[in-house]
Amino acid sequence: MTGKNNQSGIVVVHYGRMHELANCLQVLTRDYPELPTVVVDNNEPLVDSPSPALNRDNIRRLSGHGNIGFAAGVNLGIKWLMSNTECRFFWVLNSDVQPLPDALSGLEQAITSQPRVAVSGGLVIGQDDKVWSFGGTVDIQRQNVFMNHHGEQAGNFSSSTIIKKVDYVPGCSFLVSREACEVVGPFPEHYFLYFEETHWCLQATRQGFTCLVNSKSRVMHDTDDNKMQSPLRVYFYNRNQLMFWSYWGGISVRCQLFMQTLLRKLPEACRALASCADRRLSAVFWAHRQACLDFLLLRYGGRERVRQFLID
């Protein structure tokens, strides 16, 4: 699997349900049978998988020996492709994504449309044929991150190609250049889950690169809102949001966030936890309290003991 004649290689980061990975690989092996593909498994090693696609010659299976986080999985897959192929670009996908026809060609069109494009993304379509994202915007002054066109009907986008500049590209489907990986470096693993791609895109922009999206590239994404209500995701999203703005907001914002978390957010979470009789809600309040504590104590990364407690 040399990839010498291929412009792009593929990295699929898998965690969760095996049938989602099987469905994703079925599309990839049908539409891109010759592209070198790396599957990074953040579950247990992929043994006796029900997907025949995993046994193809162009697919390399890597294991992080446990859940090493999204960024570490991306870095592991890209590192392998950089060492073992001559691909110029790396298409990173979540395993719960279903690429539609022309998804990769749209990404390649955008990333080669001008010099120094670090990453390209596309139109991510969620439930009820609604747009989940078309790139994202970071408003540092207001400390706000949001996904462009979120909630709009995907049918509102014409079939014509729209390429535009964005602040960041969500991690479920993006194409990153070898050049940018070499200059900017790996994706920040201390986030573990959420905000790592946003942080990396801002770093790339700071070093003179551009982030683009192309409406020609479209993927379907499992955007079940119930996933975001799990205590594990509440913990990582709340902690990492504080981490992100503490870094990008500057010293004054960092001090403000520290004091707000110490004097308001942490006490509120403690009171909510103490007064809650519902077991499910108690886990959510515990996750929020722990997110505040770990931010204040600079405890970043995967926090295995926290994850084990929340999963149990």
Within 10 A of 61 (CB to CB), how many other CB atoms are there?
17
**Do the domain assignments include residue 2?**
no
**Under 8 Å CB-to-CB from 143, ≥6 apart: which residues?**
245, 249, 253
Same domain? For 185 and 258 the reply is: no
Are residues 109 and 208 located together in one domain of the fold?
yes
171 in the same domain as 24: yes
Q: Do residues 153 and 280 share a domain?
A: no
Final residue belonging to a domain, choices 182, 199, 223: 223
Instruction: Name which residue leads in pLDDT, 45 or 187.
Output: 187
Q: Is the pLDDT of residue 48 over 70?
A: no
CA 134 – CA 212 distance, rounded (Å): 10
Residue 299: inside a domain, yes or no? yes
**pTM for the whole thing?**
0.92
CA atoms within 13 A on the CB side of 208: 4
User: Is residue 3 assigned to a domain?
Assistant: no
- Model pLDDT, residue 5: 47
The answer to the question of residue 118 being in a domain is yes
Domain boundary among 165, 194, 223: 223
Per residue in 176-202, pLDDT tens?
Answer: 999 999 999 999 999 999 999 999 999
Domain extent, residue 203, equals: 8-223
Residue 255 lies in a domain: yes
CA angle at 222 for the pair 306 and 10, rounded to the nearest 5°: 90
> How does pLDDT run across 155-164, given as a tens digit for each residue?
888 777 899 9
| β-pair partners for 119 | 176, 211
Is 80 exceeded by the pLDDT of residue 128? yes
Residues 245 and 290 in one domain: yes
Same domain, 269 and 125: no
Question: Do residues 95 and 165 share a domain?
Answer: yes
Domain endpoint, select from 198, 223, 248: 223
Q: Is the pLDDT of residue 284 over 80?
A: yes
Overall number of domains in the chain: 2
Query: Are 115 and 27 found together in one domain?
Result: yes
- Measured CA distances, 181 to 14, 54, 148 (Å): 21, 27, 25
136 shares a domain with 106: yes
Q: Is residue 197 part of a domain?
A: yes
| pLDDT for res 111 | 98
Residues 112 and 183 grouped into a single domain: yes
Same domain, residue pair 245 and 197: no
- Return the minimum-mean-pLDDT range out of 41-45, 99-103, 209-213: 41-45
Amino acid at 87: C
Higher pLDDT, 61 or 78: 78
Tell me how far apart the alpha carbons of residues 209 and 214 are, in angstroms, rounded to a whole number: 17
240 and 207: one domain?
Answer: no
Spatial distance between the Cα atoms of 205 and 136, rounded to a whole number of angstroms:
14
Question: Domain holding 85: CATH number?
Answer: 3.90.550.60
Task: Give the residues across from 130 on adjacent strands.
Answer: 153
Residue 11 has pLDDT above 70, yes or no: yes
CA distance 239 to 297: 11
Residue 1 lies in a domain: no
